[in-house]
Structure 1
């Protein structure tokens, strides 16, 4: 089957995005050159400029893709206000596992979004804000203690996600399911033996 020029163009753009993510992830933003990206993709620099106006443009597209997916996952993790209390643990664990699976499935994008991006502080602040907003709604629904500062809880949760992604998930030392279970168990059940 012969590919149309539109299909070839889509494939070339996707290849550039994938290989740019790999280069940015390995080298960082400043040390990655367009020539590195096109060489890895087996394309020419003029081909690059058909799809992206600059190195910054492709980097922004990658970070925006990460941010959009992250936002969707966090928005979809909100507990239903009618959920039975006994289902809360499993629901939160499942949603957190899905988040870790996304981070593991896209390791280059994850490294760019969480660790390489010069604007990573803004991405982190957005994560904290979205998680906090969910937690406040869930607190108002009676799932969590009313005396907890949900800004603090959100900061702790996002910090745990970042740290464990870097030290356990991306190196392959822990699975998404294991990390989700450990975090949810710690936060919901605590450390004191019964």
Structure 2
């Protein structure tokens, strides 16, 4: 009997969520498939049905991390939204993700550590970050076209935005008051917006 698409998707999500938590807690080298089995409540066979190895599972987490942490905020559904509001809304979404599961951001530290040792992980990580920066650039260019923002080097400002989102979340991982992340993110993004907005 074939597994339904929804059930298959739910199983993979359960595996990936468990893997995020275990990798963040133990690190890549000290994590075993058995650890993920225990955390997910699934069988080892169920995990190997979807992922052939620990490395394959870890690489899949890169895409899962993007969906969880940096949802596509530049979509047709929000075509009429101002660029400023898009960035402020995105700030709220990232903060909500941080509150829901900060382990996702801890796991990112593992991505970077392994990217320096494994060319495949480095390549996949670069594709992800290039995609995120491109999304920021699209929003910034929209703001320039609409007269919201001054002309700017959108690539540099995109890097600045990404650095703020990641830097503040990483800093706040080690603080028990998760509300600080939301406060710092909003303040920092508003400072950037104030610096690039078009003056009359």
- TM > 0.5 fold call: yes
The farther-off stretch of 31-40 and 159-168 is 31-40
- Structure 1 residues 93 and 43: alpha-carbon distance in aligned structure 2, compared to 1, 3 A threshold: closer
Aligned partner of 1:104 in structure 2 is 99
1:34 aligned partner: 33
Gap runs ≥5 in structure 1: none
Change (3 A) 1:62 1:180: same
Aligned: 1:152 with 2:162: no
Of the two, which has the highest radius of gyration?
1
Secondary structure of 1:50's aligned partner: helix
CA RMSD of aligned residues (A): 3.4
Which residues in structure 2 correspond to 1:131-170 (within 5 Å)?
131-146=136-151, 148-168=152-172
**Within-5 A mapping of 1:40-189:** 40-70=39-69, 72-76=71-75, 80=79, 83=82, 92-112=87-107, 114-117=108-111, 118=115, 119=122, 120-146=125-151, 148-168=152-172, 171-175=175-179, 177-189=182-194
CA contact (8 A) 1:38 1:48 kept: yes
Unaligned runs of 5+ in 2: 116-121, 196-200
CA distance in structure 2 between the aligned counterparts of 1:38 and 1:82, rounded to whole angstroms: 43
Measure, in 2, the Cα distance between the counterparts of 1:79 and 1:144. 18
Secondary structure class of the residue paired with 1:142: coil
Q: TM-score, normalised by structure 1?
A: 0.72
SS in 2 for 1:26: helix
Identify the range of structure 1 (128-137 vs 169-178) with the bigger mean alpha-carbon deviation: 169-178
Further displaced range: 126-135 or 98-107: 98-107
